[in-house]
Each structure stands twice: as structure tokens, then as C-alpha cells.
Copies of this chain bind each other. A is one copy, B any other.
Amino acid sequence: MIKIALIGSGNVAQHLIKAFDKSEFIELIQVFARKKETLENLFDSDKIITDFSELKEADLYIISVTDGAINEVSRQFSFQNKLVVHTSGTSSIEILDNKNHRGVFYPLQTFSKNKTVDFSVIPICLEAENQNDYTLLETVANHISDAVFKINSEQRKALHVSAVFVSNFANHLYQIGNEICKEHQVPFEILKPLIEETADKIKILSPGEAQTGPAIRNDSGTIEAHLEYLTDDNQKNIYKILTQSIQNNGKKL
């Protein structure tokens, strides 16, 4: 059994708790939360700690807190020479205090409360300072996911920025679609198969090949009609900039 202590109670931490819970090879011995209540429906209350001094001996300490707090948390540990990792897409491995072995355990997924995810398909990006530590992280990751990647801090940054575009920003476009539908009393439901197919296409076509719509067709009549139809300046602006970007990209291909 690999013993893990987890620090954090946010979305990523909560999904990790559930994933570790399913594995017979991983024992989550403790979880640190600032407020015990946050995790009480999810984890054995006796093992939720609110003070770092209560942390017990583990094979791996996973810090899953906001980027701004990672360094501070890593410095509060009283032990040394243990393996400590964070789960952040943006932060370098070096943000961790070097009194312990450092590493990164970054599950690349969008986690929301009230939406379960199948952890086995979530890519986990790993980084460590030496081979032994990497092997331990790999063993843990392989127990909860079928998609484990060795990714250094520089590559992880690229992935995280890309993830913001393909996920956070894409979701915001869904929200704009939802707003336009609401404004004109059309059920947003009608767009859901389209959203699904757009994401599904990427599995077999490159995004360049998959691009459709008035921008790539240079259909200026439709583009003008859409801009006239939109009433919100922010929506108009986003429409213009993304249309232009698609058209410039089309020229580059």
C-alpha cells in the first residue's frame, strides 16, 4: 500500500479523494482542510486534519491548493526529505520548498462539484527530481488513470494555457450561446448535440480540418447579418475578433 496525505479541499482535491478511494493499492491516510465540514461527506472525519503538525508519515504528500498558497504550505511542513508534489498546471516544480523532494502530479481536467468524472481517462502529467520519485508517482498515477505522461514544467505551462483556451474559454462561448438563446426564447437544448459533435470531431480531424462556419467560408453576408443581429457589444466584439482570427489562420494553412 502506498500511503498518501493530501493537503487541500477544493475541486481537484475532492476528485482525488474519490479516485484514491477506489484504488486498493493506495491508502489516503489523512486530508488537511482549513474547514473540516468541507470534506465531511466525502472522507472519514477522524482523518481530516486542520493543523499541519498533525500530519503523519506518508510515502507521498500531495498539495492541492491555489497556486498562491503552494509555496507557503510546503514551507510549513516540519518533516524533510520526503516526496512532496503539487497538482498545479501553472506552477513550476521549484515553487515547492526544497527541504523535501519535489514533484508535480497534475491531472489535466476540468473539475466541477456535482459532476462526477471517470478518472481513468484523465491524463496525469508527472514531474520529479529523480527516477525513484518519478517511479513512485507513476505507480500512483497508473492506479487511478490509464493516461500518464512525463511532462516538464515548461511543457506543463503550454498545456495549461492551451487548456484555458480549449476548456475555460470554450465553456464561456457555450455561455454566450446560452444567453443569445435565452434572449430570443429558444431552448439551449437544441444546441447540445452540436456542442457534443464539435468536441467529438477533434478525435478524428485536426481542428484546422474540422473548422466550418461563415468565417472560414469568408461568407461576409452571414457575418454582417450576425453582427447586426447581436445586441450586446461584448458579444459583437468577440464575434469580430474570433472571425478575423479564423480567417487569418485559414490564410496561413
Contact of A168 among B168, B186, B216 (CB under 8 A): B216
**A100 at interface, CB cutoff 8 A:** no
Binds B, one of A35-43, A53-61, A188-196: A188-196
3 closest pairs, A vs B, by CB? Answer: A168-B213, A158-B184, A199-B199
Say whether B197 contacts A110, CB under 8 Å: yes
> Which residues of A in the span 199-217 have a Cβ within 8 Å of any Cβ on B?
199-217
Contact of A112 among B209, B225, B242 (CB under 8 A): B209
Say whether A234 contacts B248, CB under 8 Å: yes
**A23 at interface, CB cutoff 8 A:** no
**A2 at interface, CB cutoff 8 A:** no
Q: Chain A contact residues: over half helix, strand or loop, or mixed?
A: helix
Binds B, one of A76-84, A135-143, A172-180: A172-180
**A219 at interface, CB cutoff 8 A:** yes
Least distance between A195 CB and chain B CB atoms (Å): 5
Assuming the contacts A110-B212, A210-B112, A238-B242, asked whether A221 and B68 have C-beta atoms less than 8 A apart, the reply is: yes
Which residues of chain A have a CB within 8 Å of any CB of chain B?
11, 66-68, 90, 108-112, 114-115, 117, 121-123, 125, 147, 149, 151, 154-155, 157-178, 180-181, 183-188, 190-217, 219, 221-222, 225-226, 229-230, 234-235, 237-239, 241-242, 245-246, 248-249
Say whether A206 contacts B178, CB under 8 Å: yes
Say whether A214 contacts B164, CB under 8 Å: yes
- Complex Cα spacing A49 to B234, Å: 46
Contact of A108 among B67, B194, B226 (CB under 8 A): B194
Contact of A158 among B123, B180, B217 (CB under 8 A): B180
- Copies of this chain, how many? 2
- Complex Cα spacing A229 to B162, Å: 11
Chain B residues contacting A177 (CB-CB under 8 Å) are: 162-163, 165-166, 207
Least distance between A19 CB and chain B CB atoms (Å): 14
- Complex Cα spacing A162 to B212, Å: 14
Chain B residues contacting A171 (CB-CB under 8 Å) are: 198, 201-202, 207, 210-212
Say whether B123 contacts A190, CB under 8 Å: yes
Say whether B229 contacts A202, CB under 8 Å: no
Chain B residues contacting A199 (CB-CB under 8 Å) are: 170, 195-196, 198-200
Among A168, A184, A213, A248: residue with most chain B CB under 10 A: A168
Assuming the contacts A193-B122, A197-B109, asked whether A186 and B158 have C-beta atoms less than 8 A apart, the reply is: yes
Least distance between A251 CB and chain B CB atoms (Å): 12
